[in-house]
Structures are given as C-alpha cells and as structure tokens.
C-alpha cells in the first residue's frame, strides 16, 4: 500500500509563513524521495492547502495510508483535538483509506542541535544595549 505524508502547520495570514511550510515539505520530499513518494503540505487553518485538500491530493496520487505529521513542538490542543478532527473529516470522503496523526516534533536531540545552531549563529554585533 502507498503511504502519503501530510506535513501540517497552524497556517497564517502571512504568505511568507505559509510558503515556509511548503518549502519544508518540498525539501523533505526531495531528501526522502526514496522512502516517501507522496508528500503534501497543509495548514490547519487560515490558508490553503487545508488538511482536507492535502489528504485528497495524497489519495489522488495513489495513497491508501496517510500520515499526518504536525509541524508543531508540543502535544497541545491542536495535536490532541483539532488536527485529528480535521483529518477524520477529510478521511470520511475516502473510506478505503486509513490515517494516523504522528507525534509533534517534541523534545529530541535533533531539536537541541538546531537550538545550538541558531544560538551559535548570533554574532557579537547583534547584541544591543538596553534603552
């Protein structure tokens, strides 16, 4: 069975924020193309593509199993309630499919590496004196 991946963030009124997730999904799809043939971005609200749209695109591309992967840090309300509800509604149109909502990014050594990278990238010239 083919598996589709939906990488979902909150969604924003700012186009550049929504474009960032689309870039993340594209980079993920390119890097892991040997493992995942179907990858779609989605926004939980405020922007398209929605979870419903991304789910449908996965099915159109042949996916029967869909993994909804939250681009969130914690197991908050969006992960516990909102995303599962939206995924369930999307899946109702495709009763031959199954889905699973993956864990959010959470606490992981890779997150620690990214924090170190961001902190290490701050030059001395960036510091400001208090006003």
pLDDT tens figures, 17-69: 999 999 999 999 999 999 999 999 999 999 999 999 999 999 999 999 999 99
Helix, strand, coil in percent for the chain, rounding step 5: 45, 20, 40
38: number of Cβ within 10 Å: 20
Mean pLDDT throughout 112-116?
93
Domains of the chain (ranges; CATH) run: 3-122 (3.40.50.1400)
Mean pLDDT throughout 70-82?
93
Check pLDDT > 90 for residue 97.
Answer: yes
Q: Is 122 exposed, middle or buried (0-12, 13-18, 19+ CB in 10 A)?
A: exposed
């Amino acid at each position: 069975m083919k598996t589709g991946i939906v990488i979902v963030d909150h969604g924003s009124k700012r186009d550049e924020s929504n474009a960032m997730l689309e870039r993340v999904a594209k980079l993920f799809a390119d890097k892991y193309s040997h493992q995942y043939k179907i990858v779609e971005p989605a926004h939980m609200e405020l922007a398209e593509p929605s979870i419903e749209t991304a789910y449908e695109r996965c099915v159109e591309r042949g996916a029967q199993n869909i993994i909804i992967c939250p681009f969130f840090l914690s197991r908050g309300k969006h992960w516990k309630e909102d995303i599962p509800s939206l995924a369930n509604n999307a899946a109702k149109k495709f009763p031959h499919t199954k889905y699973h909502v993956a864990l959010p990014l959470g606490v992981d050594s890779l997150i620690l590496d990214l924090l170190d990278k961001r902190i290490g990238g701050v030059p001395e010239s960036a510091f400001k004196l208090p006003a």
